[in-house]
Structure 1
């Protein structure tokens, strides 16, 4: 009896399409965030942080929020826009590759998502709650689906 080779066509692995849509949505949201940040500039962020400091009666000189307030300037906003834009392009390219069932996209997604897992575990240790568990479980599912695709590809190539 011969085994049929693994065919990662869209109908053979609907998980890739689901992940492609998920990654594409993340890329689109990141592009919207980058464009919004570029258009609005640093002033709305500075105002929001000042309001938070006043609302919670925080020390306006020392602490995380005042330090963040000092760090927000036009140069920092442009750098943040560049980083978020690169992230968005990365996610959109990955989504395109997953939709087309490309092996490189499965590698990109699997390795990229697996890199978040230690941070997810640390976050779970520091801030255990349903939201932290949800992120960890979603990332584990993404890694499992993509790793399954890669293992099936490798097995069919052998």
Structure 2
């Protein structure tokens, strides 16, 4: 018998569903736009910030954009979105595997959140760290209750 989903799981499930939906929209947008508008936007950024259009990271990035790379990026974003939607469904249904997936996924970001807090201190870095800690705590508590 599986436990009833508590409101914390539902809130996390809604956030994951939103992330998954946005990722699916982004993947669709990449496929619909193709490489030409992306290259144009990067060249506009280079011009706006008076960067060297022949050298530098953005110029190299613009050169790497091709139909194949756009399809590859869209596929990766599609998989990312699908994973978040599956996780959201599992959390809404109080599935243990979804709590494991969400807990591990949020915990992976914690070292980067701590690094960001020290590198760029501010309320945004603190908020991101606190939110991820809450997610890990809620999902970890759910997993702990399942074992006991």
Task: Give the structure-2-normalised TM-score.
Answer: 0.93
> Which range is displaced more, 133-142 or 101-110?
133-142
* Match status 1:133 vs 2:145: no
Alignment of 1:119-158 (within 5 A): 119-155=112-148
Aligned to 2:3: 8
How far residue 81 of structure 1 moved from its aligned partner, in angstroms, is 0.6
From the CA coordinates, give the structure whose radius of gyration is larger.
1
| RMSD, matched Cα | 1.6
Aligned to 1:4: none
* Match status 1:90 vs 2:86: no
Long gaps (5+) in structure 1: 1-6
**Paired residues, number:** 148
Aligned to 1:111: 104
> Which range is displaced more, 59-68 or 14-23?
59-68
Q: Structure 2 CA distance, aligned partners of 1:148 and 1:121?
A: 22
Which structure shows the higher helix fraction? 2
How far residue 47 of structure 1 moved from its aligned partner, in angstroms, is 0.9
How far residue 84 of structure 1 moved from its aligned partner, in angstroms, is 0.5
